[in-house]
Amino acid sequence: MPTGVAIRDAREQLFDAAERILLRDGPSALTSRAVTTEAGCAKGVLHRHFADFDAFLAELVLDRVAHIESQSTALHETAGTGTVTGNLTTALTDLFGGSIAVSIVALITFRDDLRTRLREKRQTPGIPLLTEATAVITTYLTAERELGRITTTADIDTLAPTLIGAAHLLFADRRDAPPEATAVQKAVTTVLAGAVPL
């Protein structure tokens, strides 16, 4: 690999390379050498931008968490339109289908040092990404309740993590094709039974 060649947006290039490895090969294949090889750069590039590999992974997770939080506005804007079930089915499919979310959760579970580093960096308890995704769903369900499309007695603090957990389990098996939209919709409908007025 030539040295002295400037790399534009090195951090994003390294993050994208790590995502490809996670999606293709899983967390056990994610090493600093694998990332820099996938990114097409010298290994020293990663260490110029990050203190060590766990610092790189922590920043990768936090960067991807920020992407999840940005989806909150888009979902919130659907409140009052379409159906609650349809909106949630789309949002959960966008979150877990074809994205890095499931792989990031596996990575956090796989690496003890990463979990420790993330606990030090974050103020929010819980599993990064799943916690933020739950907050996104909570905000949406609250908006729908205010519009009368969710019953006033609905326990949103239970519904939101249940929806996230159900969707995560549906998408967690990387060996099979992602679930059909009907499977996601069925899970959403079942979780929301009694919470959506007929």
Query: Residue range 38-53: average pLDDT?
Result: 90
Give the right CATH number for 1-49 from 3.30.465.10, 1.10.150.80, 1.10.10.60, 3.40.50.620.
1.10.10.60
* Structure token pair of residue 79: 């409140």
Which band of pLDDT confidence, cut at 50, 70 and 90, is reported for residue 95?
Answer: confident
| Strand intervals (E) in 95-158 | none
User: CA 18, CA 59: separation in Å to the nearest integer?
Assistant: 12
Distances (CA, A) of 108 to 31, 115, 136: 14, 6, 20
Query: Residue range 55-65: average pLDDT?
Result: 90
Domain boundaries, the chain: 1-49, 62-191
Domains 1-49 and 62-191 share a fold: no
Judge residue 164's burial from the number of C-beta atoms within 10 Å of its C-beta, 0-12 exposed, 13-18 middle, 19 or more buried: buried
pLDDT at residue 117 in the model: 86
Kindly tell me if the per-residue pLDDT of 2 is higher than 70.
Answer: no
**The whole model's pTM is what?**
0.83
* Structure token pair of residue 144: 């729908």
pLDDT at residue 25 in the model: 87
The number of CA neighbours under 13 Å toward the Cβ of 120 is 10
Dump pLDDT digits (tens) for 122-177.
777 788 888 889 999 999 999 999 999 999 999 999 999 999 999 999 988 756 67
Single out the residue of 43, 64, 50, 189 nearest to residue 130, CA to CA. 64
Please name the fold of domain 62-191: Tetracycline Repressor; domain 2 (1.10.357)
User: CA 57, CA 176: separation in Å to the nearest integer?
Assistant: 26
Judge residue 44's burial from the number of C-beta atoms within 10 Å of its C-beta, 0-12 exposed, 13-18 middle, 19 or more buried: exposed
The fraction of the chain above a pLDDT of 70, given in percent, is: 92
pLDDT at residue 109 in the model: 85
pLDDT at residue 3 in the model: 46
pLDDT at residue 28 in the model: 87
Lowest-confidence range among 7-21, 77-91, 95-109, 179-193? Answer: 95-109
* Structure token pair of residue 47: 């260490």
Kindly tell me if the per-residue pLDDT of 4 is higher than 50.
Answer: no
